[in-house]
Amino acid sequence: MSEPVYIDLVSDYAFKRIFGSEPNKDLLISLLNGLFRGRKSIVDLLYEKNEHVGDSEEIGTVIFDLICTADNGEKFVIEVQRTAQINLKKRMLYYSSKLIADQAPKGKRRAWNYAITEVYIVVLMDGFTFSQAEESSAVIHDICLCNRETGRVFYEELGFIYVQLRNFTKVEAELENDLDRWLYVLRNMSKLNKIPVYLKKTIFEKLFKIAEYAKLNKEERAMYDVSLKRKWDAEAVRQYQEQQLSEAIQKGLETGIEQGIEQGIEQGLKKGIKEGIERGAEAKSYEVVENLINELKLTDDIIVRVAEVSLDFVQKVRADLARDKK
């Protein structure tokens, strides 16, 4: 396979290289301003720590903690993630809560009076979308706390912006603003041979210069190639898992319907579909784990996270395979 002209921006290594350093913070500022769509105008940012303790070994997770300064002088905190999808909403709620809790001073809390800085979580979802049908079709989900009855914003200073890159399908001639341009390069950078006419702006010209694969030294290329392979492997596992789950549900439904007919229209369908799905899902989980062991050679802890099964289940499958080989 021939060398690419530009690196894949949403691989872990490239994302850190392009957006995670002080000399390139103008690129991240431009991307964030596009995502806020006029609600915020960031003029400067300060990198705090990169990656939370305990998260750095997860596949497909890059985390930046940023202190941002807006054009009106106000400060607020943003966490940017290029992340995997397991327990996504709960994970983001946990991280946002941690960013809030970390602001509390040790002692003198009464004097502080809960003067919490605004907190935002920005998540780039590469290769996957939300599972619910009503959520999965949009490109951007801009989430805040609101009144369930009226829809009015209850608290403005905590927000989540989820970007479902897979849903962005505009071509070059359809790009209308900088947000479109950023989503386009995030999705397509590694497929391009030169900077498109529609991206002839200073900020994107800088991006294309520093994203050239040819400018990576030998060590950097090795790190990038490993990162890219991990991304491809994770995507292959994700697609395989989605396919297996879909087939398991279909088989479970079919089995459940057959049993439901025998047991009676109302009670039989409910019981049969449930039991069919459970049996189908268990069988497919075994098949998924078996393939992850044999084909992708993944370790037990990674299989637990990818297949969403217990460690005991993985070890049972591995023991069965070892026994069969004897």
Confidence at residue 25, expressed as pLDDT on a 0 to 100 scale? 95
Q: What does the angle CA 186 – CA 187 – CA 188 come to, to the nearest 5 degrees?
A: 100
**pLDDT per residue as tens digits for the range 252-271:** 666 655 665 556 556 654 55
* pLDDT under 50: residue ranges of the chain: 52-57, 59, 269, 273, 277
Report strand pairing: 118-125 vs 75-82.
parallel
Question: Hey, what are 279's tokens?
Answer: 């049996």
Q: Report pLDDT for 174.
A: 94
The runs of H, that is alpha helices, within the chain are 12-19, 25-36, 88-101, 109-112, 133-136, 178-188, 202-210, 218-263, 265-294, 300-307, 311-325
Residue in 200, 168, 183, 174 with CA at minimum distance from that of residue 31: 183
Calculated CA dihedral for residues 258, 263, 269, 270, nearest 10 degrees:
-140
pLDDT of residue 108: 73
Q: Compute the distance between CA of residue 274 and CA of residue 254 in angstroms, rounded to an integer.
A: 11
Q: What is the DSSP letter of 22?
A: G
Contact 34, 182 (CB under 8 A): yes
User: In which region does residue 295 sit, left (phi positive, over 0), alpha (psi from -120 to 50) or beta (all else)?
Assistant: alpha
The pLDDT assigned to 51 comes to 52
pLDDT digits (tens, 9 = 90+) for 135-187: 778 999 999 999 999 999 999 999 999 999 989 999 999 999 999 999 999 99
- Joined together, the tokens standing for residue 132 give 């619910």
Name the residue among 158, 165, 12 with its Cα closest to residue 93.
158
Q: Is 47 helix (H, G, I), strand (E, B) or coil?
A: strand
CA 166, CA 124: separation in Å to the nearest integer? Answer: 10
What's the whole-model pTM score? 0.69
